[in-house]
Chains A and B, each alone.
With several copies, the nearest count.
Chain A
Amino acid sequence: MASKTELWQSRASEKKKELLRPLLKERLQGSWLGLIIPMILLISWEIASVRGVFEAHLLPAPTVVLAKISEMAADGSLWSHIWITLYRVFIGFVIGTASAVVIGSFVGYWKLAENLLDSLVQAFRSIPSLAWVPLFILWMGIGEPSKIVLIAVGVFFPVYLNIVAGIQGVDRKLIEVGKIYQFSSLQIVRRIILPSALPSFITGIRSGLGVGWMFVVAAELMGASEGLGYLLVEGQNTYAPDVVIASILLFALLGKGSDSVLKLVETKALHYQDTLANQG
């Protein structure tokens, strides 16, 4: 049993200073910590490769892959692959998100729109990206539009789903406040429902962006001659595992990078939430 003195908790005011900027410190520390596991994975992969556990023609060593990447960087092809894919993902993401917001708001708020549209969307949602490819080529040819629209399709569904769920989960109490002020439906959606659904929406766009990246490969099957998805498929077709792994790494890096941007937006936008993380 604890002695009497031990029951006292004491905190001197100097300690407080340490607590002043814990967020910044934590964040820096956090990003370092995040590198530990990837580093361990990379190093063991390298060691295993050097020891011959993985056959080089199946899974080349990280150093080989990095050499490939820097080779591509040197001859400039890397940048054009990255640039064009980033461009496609970005535009597709914007289009997909915008349409999901519009349609999702309708479906979330108006029962009739939900009854009319939701089933259809849910049905389309599980059609694989590869299935769309021939149809999109047929409808839109093999230019940029078909690629961008296909990525937009991938982005659309998670955003839609999260926005509808967010809207339908909005607290009735807050909506009633808007009704008291005789807000129009549009005002209620814009001023109460969308801000309320913001956390869910942000999760949706983060999820959607991920699916967008995934759809890049299918999109770039439609007559691309550049891009990360093209690089991947070409690597597979020319039996170049280093190119394949390089493109996978690039997908991972760009995906993580673009997601970090959204995560930053999330932290900024949701600072008002009364959660453990936001405690003052």
Chain B
Amino acid sequence: SDKASGGDEKPEKITLDYAYYSPTSLVLKKFGWAEKELKKDGVEVKWVQSLGSNKALEFLNSSSVDFGSTAGAAAFIAKSKGAPIESVYIYSQPEWTALVTKDKKIKSVKDLKGKKIAATIGTDPYIFLLRALKEEGLSSKDVKIVNLQHQDGANALLSGEVDAWAGLDPHMAKVELESDGKFLYRNPDFNTYGTLNVRSEFAKDHPEYVKKVIALYEKARQWTLEHPDEAAKLLSEEAGLSLEVAKKELERNNFEQPVPGDEQREAISSAGEVLKAEKVISPDTDIDKVVNELINPSFAEKAVK
């Protein structure tokens, strides 16, 4: 079975995920540091690719992975529905989403009223869209949100099917570079961070190893900070992106703040409010409680020097 093993103190095997939206995970996987480090303890390392936050969460839920990379808001929604996970580390503060349009007449979020906007329900771009609308005093009822997968949304925007698109990198970078799509609205603070989540059970059974994994991620983060060009090249190779797209994507990632804390709590709570208003999470959710249970900085605080 592929269930990652529990056990007493030392796990037999640790299953990590890697994802194109988490550049540090690619670095870590590429250099094989985890394998090297954990082999000393006789712990096996297995890598599984996550194609998106929802997949990472499915894997976490089914104990198929021990660590999974997701958007903060995605982890929050899952946690609010009872998923036993904790966000223990911030792999980056990405500005991976923004509102994109091709229509020259649409100049601000206000102009979106009554327009068709493509977004994938439940994902960070969707939350971003809702928050941008809310800021202007609009709600999802004032526009027509069309549920499309990210890449389909990009296509729909380019072929004029929709007026705007809540984009996601790397699709967004590609649209920006290769066609006449332009940013309508961007706001890094409305992105909910990229969080590394661990299964609560694993954290309880093997706290030492959570720290070890965080330390490994730290090593990858340092390397990425020191070698931005090589990191871009690595990302472009691994994810099959062109170098410019990869560079663009990396530029929009801030790797400075690895320890989860109040900033994240705040960002996720604000996202939570919007989600509550839109009934994505149940109206009786205690947002603060969920956020506090989700964000667990204790491991990172110890692991990050």
Contacts and interface: CB of A to CB of B under 8 A. Distances in A.
A and B touch in the complex (CB under 8 A): yes
Interface of A: 55-58, 133-134, 137-138, 141-143, 221-225, 230, 233-241, 243
Contacts of B161: 137, 141-142, 223
Interface in B67-92: 74, 77-78, 81-84
A137 B122 contact: no
A237 B155 contact: no
B245 to A, nearest CB: 8
20 contacts: A57-B78, A57-B83, A58-B62, A58-B155, A58-B158, A134-B58, A137-B148, A137-B155, A138-B58, A138-B62, A138-B155, A141-B62, A142-B64, A225-B145, A225-B146, A237-B121, A238-B122, A238-B280, A239-B81, A239-B171
Contacts of A222: 148, 152
Given A58-B61, A221-B55, A237 B156 contact: no
A235 B241 CA distance: 10
Contact of A138 (B120, B159, B162): B159
A179 to B, nearest CB: 48
B81 A237 contact: no
Interface string B258-297: 0000000000000000000000110000000000000000
A243 B77 CA distance: 14
A143 B160 CA distance: 13
A56 B82 contact: yes
Contact of B1 (A141, A230, A243): A141
Interface of B: 1-3, 20, 47-49, 51-52, 54-55, 57-59, 61-64, 74, 77-78, 81-84, 118, 120-123, 144-152, 154-156, 158-159, 161-162, 170-171, 174, 178-179, 239-241, 280-281
Contacts of B159: 58, 137-138, 141
A238 B62 contact: no
B124 to A, nearest CB: 11
A233 B126 CA distance: 14
B254 to A, nearest CB: 22
Interface of A is mostly: loop
A138 B77 contact: no
A236 B151 contact: yes
A240 B148 contact: no
A241 B152 CA distance: 11
Contacts of B20: 237-238
Given A236-B54, A239-B81, A143 B240 contact: no
Contacts of A143: 1-2
Contacts of A243: 240
Given A57-B61, A142-B48, A238-B280, A223 B147 contact: yes
B83 A239 contact: yes
A138 B160 CA distance: 10
A237 B51 contact: yes
The 9 closest A-B pairs by CB, nearest first: A237-B122, A57-B82, A141-B2, A143-B2, A238-B122, A223-B146, A239-B78, A142-B64, A239-B171
B178 A233 contact: no
Nearest to A238: B122
B265 to A, nearest CB: 20
A137 B165 CA distance: 15
Given A142-B161, A239-B77, A230 B62 contact: no
A206 B116 CA distance: 37
A136 to B, nearest CB: 9
A56 B178 CA distance: 10
A200 B264 CA distance: 60
A134 B78 CA distance: 14
A55 B148 CA distance: 20
Contacts of A134: 58, 151-152, 155
Contacts of B171: 239
Contacts of A141: 1-3, 62-64, 156, 159, 161
Nearest to A224: B147
A195 to B, nearest CB: 41
A239 to B, nearest CB: 4
B117 to A, nearest CB: 11
Given A223-B118, A237-B123, 13 more contacts: A55-B82, A138-B62, A141-B1, A141-B3, A141-B161, A142-B64, A142-B148, A222-B148, A234-B122, A237-B120, A237-B151, A238-B20, A239-B77
A263 B74 CA distance: 44
Nearest to A223: B146
A141 B148 CA distance: 12
A270 to B, nearest CB: 42
B287 to A, nearest CB: 15
Nearest to A236: B151
Contacts of B74: 239
Contacts of B54: 236-237, 239
A119 to B, nearest CB: 29
A221 B147 CA distance: 7
Contacts of B154: 239
A223 B122 contact: no
B1 A239 contact: no
A57 B152 contact: no
Contacts of B122: 234, 237-239
B279 to A, nearest CB: 10
B83 A142 contact: no
